[in-house]
Structure 1
Amino acid sequence: MKYRVMMAALLAIIASPVCAAKLSGAPQILDANTIEIAQTRIRLSGIEAPETDQICLDTHGQKWACGVAARDALINYSNGRIWDCQTAGVDKYGRFLGSCFVEGQDVNAWMVSSGWALSSGPSAHVYLINEVVASNAFAGLWSGAFITPWDWRRRNKSTIIVGASSVPNKAQELLLGSALLSDPPSPDCVIKGTVDGNGERTYHSPGQISYGQIDMTKKPAERWFCSENEAEAMGWHRAAR
């Protein structure tokens, strides 16, 4: 009974108007899904962009760091301008869920129509037409082949690879191989994330004793991060040593 009361209270807090707010400012871009304004982390709602360590195939069937490219596209689009965000609710990592605008343009919609994110979640229909536009224009991720961001983390041999045009024959080998993330997706993304048997998420930075002991081709190795702030925004905690 006590557990049920606590859960009901938590849900009431999440659904309350307190979680709804307006924030304005020039954001720090943590990844293509997440920004930070005035020390408040906001997860762009209604869309799903690749995480910074996701790898895709380009128009020539070669591997490229599409997650880093998506993040950098958002950084370039922002270009130091002021964002106006309306938040409503929080996700499981404690990030506020928000719709954001720059000079009146819907950032969430821009990410999808530019091909750097897919329409997703309960409000997926809101950005579906933007996704069709991006697909038809072979924009961003649609210029080659890729795994949908929500399938990337749990990918296996049966994971479907999509693209606006034909998917290369070697796509399965290139995007589903166990050694895919043996090297960081970018020289700037060298933080290692691990998940232990209890589900504890820990990140390890260069210079820590544990860092060199982690083989990213084997469990519990999980993913690469580009910054400690990004790792913490995704629910990881710094390793003790």
Structure 2
Amino acid sequence: MVDGDTIAISGVIYRLHGIDAPEAGQKCNSSTGNAWNCGKEAISMLEGLVLGHTVECDDRGQDDYGRTIGVCKVGSQDLNAIMVETGHAWAFRKYSEDYGSLEDIAHQKHVGIWQAETETPWDFRAAKWAVAKQDAPDGCPIKGNISDNGHIYHAPWSPWYVRTKVSTKNGERWFCSEKEAVQAGWRAPYWGR
């Protein structure tokens, strides 16, 4: 599992078309005033929908990071739609209105991310980026880390970002964009089980 709106199937990374889920390290506000781990819950929800099932995704082209954009289904179930309907993702209206009406219904029902006023993932990413960029070498805040799991990059919104150290003498490095990291052969961390 890559995250709440991205899955890997047979070596192909699919970015779910028309939705944007909370980031893995993101918390959302609840109706009781407490924060909850909406990013981890979105990952868990999508993981529950795909594990043990045959998933088929269409191909709507690639995004800037080389991921295939697609609508993914298990049988006749549209996973993109389910994530929005259950309040585990926003309709990514900047790119598509395909799930806008489902988002409106989830919002009216106050489910998931709609329990209380919550920061969108795009605003969450922008805020984390702005802070990390100030302290990063040459304003390039993505950390390229080498571990037993391979060459992995951590964007500022990763829950492991603060704990991740970059040792350039060991071949680790900084990147100015996710696209640059992917083109250099590094991958995003996988979440879930």
**TM-score of the superposition, structure 2-length normalised?**
0.69
- Residues 7 and 14, structure 2, Cα contact 8 Å, conserved in 1: yes
Alignment of 1:8-157 (within 5 A): 29-121=1-93, 124-155=96-127
Compared with structure 1, are the counterparts of its residues 59 and 122 closer, same or farther at alpha carbon in structure 2 (3 Å cutoff)?
closer
Compared with structure 1, are the counterparts of its residues 142 and 90 closer, same or farther at alpha carbon in structure 2 (3 Å cutoff)?
same
SS at match of 2:60: strand
1:136, CA displacement in angstroms? Answer: 1.6
User: Where does residue 223 of structure 1 map in the other structure?
Assistant: 157
- Residues 59 and 69, structure 2, Cα contact 8 Å, conserved in 1: yes
1:199, CA displacement in angstroms? Answer: 2.5
Unaligned runs of 5+ in 2: 149-154, 161-177, 188-193
Report the structure, 1 or 2, having the larger strand content.
Answer: 1
User: Where does residue 197 of structure 1 map in the other structure?
Assistant: 138
The separation in 1 between residues aligned to 2:99 and 2:40, in whole angstroms, is 22
Compared with structure 1, are the counterparts of its residues 52 and 222 closer, same or farther at alpha carbon in structure 2 (3 Å cutoff)?
same
Question: Which one is further off, 100-109 or 136-145?
Answer: 136-145
- Residues 195 and 222, structure 1, Cα contact 8 Å, conserved in 2: no
The separation in 2 between residues aligned to 1:30 and 1:222, in whole angstroms, is 16
- Residues 22 and 39, structure 2, Cα contact 8 Å, conserved in 1: yes
The separation in 2 between residues aligned to 1:47 and 1:196, in whole angstroms, is 32
Counterpart amino acid of 1:105? Q
SS at match of 1:42: strand
Counterpart amino acid of 1:202? K
Rg bigger for which structure? 1
Say how many residue pairs are matched.
154
Compared with structure 1, are the counterparts of its residues 121 and 129 closer, same or farther at alpha carbon in structure 2 (3 Å cutoff)?
closer
1:123, CA displacement in angstroms? Answer: 5.1
Structure of higher RCO (CA pairs closer than 8 Å, 6+ residues apart) = 2
Counterpart amino acid of 1:148? T
Q: CA RMSD in A?
A: 2.7
SS at match of 1:108: helix
1:38, CA displacement in angstroms? Answer: 0.5
Identity of aligned residues (%): 32
The separation in 1 between residues aligned to 2:75 and 2:136, in whole angstroms, is 40
1:200, CA displacement in angstroms? Answer: 5.8
- Residues 32 and 70, structure 1, Cα contact 8 Å, conserved in 2: yes
> Structure 1 runs of 4+ off > 3 angstroms?
203-207, 234-238
Compared with structure 1, are the counterparts of its residues 85 and 92 closer, same or farther at alpha carbon in structure 2 (3 Å cutoff)?
same
- Residues 18 and 95, structure 2, Cα contact 8 Å, conserved in 1: yes
Unaligned runs of 5+ in 1: 1-28, 157-177, 179-193, 208-220, 227-233
- Alpha-carbon displacement from aligned partner over 1:202-223 (angstroms, at most 9, x marks no partner): 244789xxxxxxxxxxxxx823
Compared with structure 1, are the counterparts of its residues 124 and 195 closer, same or farther at alpha carbon in structure 2 (3 Å cutoff)?
farther
**TM-score of the superposition, structure 1-length normalised?**
0.57
The separation in 2 between residues aligned to 1:74 and 1:119, in whole angstroms, is 15
The separation in 2 between residues aligned to 1:55 and 1:205, in whole angstroms, is 27
- Residues 195 and 202, structure 1, Cα contact 8 Å, conserved in 2: no
Compared with structure 1, are the counterparts of its residues 44 and 54 closer, same or farther at alpha carbon in structure 2 (3 Å cutoff)?
same
